[in-house]
Amino acid sequence: MNKEELVERYFSGILSEDEARRLQKELQKDAAFSEAFELEKELQAVLVSKGKNDLKSRLSHLEADKYLKDQSSQGSNWLRYVAAAAIVIGLSIFGALYMGNNATPEELYTENFEPYRNIIAPVVRGGNAESLLEKSFAAYERGNFEQAEEAFETLYEASGDRYLLFYRGNALLALDRVEEAITVFESHQETQDNFYYKSRWYLALAYLKHNKPEMALTLLKEQVSQKAFNYRAAETLLSKLE
Amino acid sequence: MIEEPTLEQLRTGDSEAYTKIYEAYRDSFLGYARKYELSEEDVLEIYQDSVVKLYENVMSRKLNKLTSSLKTYLFSIGKFKIYEQLRYRKKRVSREESDFKTETFEQSYFEEHQLTERQIALRKHFETLGVRCKTLLNCFYLKGMSLEEIKQAEQYENVNTVKAAKSRCMKQLKEKMIP
């Protein structure tokens, strides 16, 4: 068996122990071969990571499409509805008492905006603890949005990881830099990743803050019809806007 | 318990197979995780990441032999991730708790790693390759198909043309990597 066949068997995952030892020997003997093999292994890691992203996105869509819709069609989760109704009623009373019936879009924004929690940094492990990614999310959690926003931008330029756009949009909103936030969310939504509907929710809020309730309305309606992220809150918002 | 797909089936990377596993054990995982102070949203996030980790370990050939059911393996990943999440939030939790002892599996295989800078560059350049190159490299390096299988699936003339095409694609990629 020649070197090429050993490599082929390696990537097919069918290398025997004996073959693995032979491959190891060949790699030690031949620097150029070893270098090429390293690149091949890195390519494998890259392709696996791409596959991971696709699968993750598929699973979150499945979750949003199937299970959330199931809940609403089965009617077996009546407790949730009672709870949701209670919250809606509670909020409306609160709204009626404190805001009058005509809250401005900006007030509605303030009522609803909360930067999306960090679900990225907890998984950043095994690397060096001082990476820019960890620092940026640490800043984000501390509420240092200025520092976080800059870091997200730098990281996005370097890696092209699209969730960074989503978090950057959040940081910009928190900094009241609404127009920039709108641009960033819009560019994030050019592709659909795990944060797609979350991003649309925040874009809707940004439109409210920017006093463009009609733009927010369209987005919120879709959020509700898709039973997507925060759709119950979207329903409440819609009822107040319409 | 469903009839679980075999490792060979999972190795093709077929997302249907992973979705099937996801659906089969979703409720059972939610039930298991109920005892921890985590929201359902967090638990689902962890569960999704666990299935994705299973995919990673199968596809990168770290998981070569199953000594238990897939469900047991998947739940070990899930438990590890719950533990990490709780520890991250500084909730009092000790590794001694029986739930988090999963010494039957190599725990380092459950940890997440970011791509290195070189790999990020490689990913960028890979995207600029032609469709045929991308498909070919995916078949070989991700799905682990043999040259013979690729010849049949992608209608190459013979194994040698597959081999030649593969070297050309890798050469292109290598050249793009030179700064």
Ramachandran region, residue A126 (left: φ > 0; alpha: ψ -120 to 50; beta: rest) = left
Q: Is the Cβ of B121 closer than 8 Å to some Cβ of chain A?
A: no
**Superfamily of domain covering A104-241:** Tetratricopeptide repeat domain (1.25.40.10)
Q: Which helix (H) or strand (E) holds A239?
A: helix A231-241
Domains and CATH numbers, chain B: 7-110 (no CATH), 117-177 (1.10.10)
Alpha helices in chain B (DSSP H): 7-11, 15-33, 40-59, 70-88, 117-127, 131-137, 147-153, 159-177
Q: Is the pLDDT of residue B95 over 80?
A: no
Residue A182 · residue A208 · CB < 8 Å: no
Contacts of B111 in chain A (CB under 8 A): 125-126
Instruction: Give the highest mean pLDDT range of A61-70, B90-99, B119-128.
Output: B119-128
- Band of residue B111 on the pLDDT scale cut at 50, 70, 90: confident
Interchain pair A55, B52: CB under 8 A:
yes
Q: Which of B59, B77, B159 to mutate to test the interface with A (most CBs of A within 10 A)?
A: B59
Which segment of A30-39, A115-124, A205-214 scores lowest on mean pLDDT? A115-124
Neighboring chain B residues of A45 at a CB cutoff of 8 Å:
60, 115, 119
In angstroms, the first-to-last Cα distance of chain A is: 73
Average pLDDT on B108-136 reads: 89
In our burial notation (b when 16+ CB lie closer than 10 A, e otherwise), range A130-145 reads eeebbbbbebbeeeeb
Q: Quick one: pLDDT at residue A100?
A: 46
What pLDDT band is residue B50 in, cutting at 50, 70 and 90?
very high
Residues of chain B contacting A60 with CB distance shorter than 8 Å: 48
Residue window 53-92, chain A: list those with CB within 8 Å of chain B.
54-56, 58-60, 62-63, 67
Q: Which two tokens stand for residue B99?
A: 């739930």
| Dist CA A167 CA A152 (whole Å) | 7
A16 in contact with B at a CB cutoff of 8 Å? no
The predicted pLDDT at position A202 comes to 96
Per residue in B52-83, pLDDT tens? 999 999 999 888 888 889 999 999 999 989 98
Q: Which of A42-51, A113-122, A160-169, B123-132 comes out lowest in average pLDDT?
A: A113-122
C-alpha Rg value of chain B to the nearest Å:
20
Please give the residue of chain B at the shortest CA–CA distance from A127.
Answer: B113
| B152 shares contact with chain A (CB less than 8 Å) | no
Digit-coded pLDDT (tens) for A169-216: 999 999 999 999 999 999 999 888 888 999 999 999 999 999 898 999
Number of H helices, E strands in chain A: 13, 0
For B56, the closest of A4, A48, A63 (CB atoms) is A48
Q: Which residue has the higher pLDDT, A124 or B173?
A: B173
Q: Is the pLDDT of residue A72 over 50?
A: no
- Per-residue DSSP letters for B57-92? HHHTTS----SS-HHHHHHHHHHHHHHHHHHHTT--
**Over residues B86-113, mean pLDDT:** 67
Chosen for mutation from A123, A137, A157 (greatest number of chain B CBs closer than 10 Å) is A123
Q: By percentage, how much of chain B surpasses pLDDT 70?
A: 89
B19/A62 CB distance under 8 A: yes
Task: Give the pLDDT band (50/70/90) at residue A74.
Answer: very low
pLDDT reported for residue A143: 84
Contact B84 A62 (CB under 8 A): no
State the pLDDT at residue A31.
Answer: 94
Confidence of residue A124 (pLDDT cuts 50, 70, 90): very low
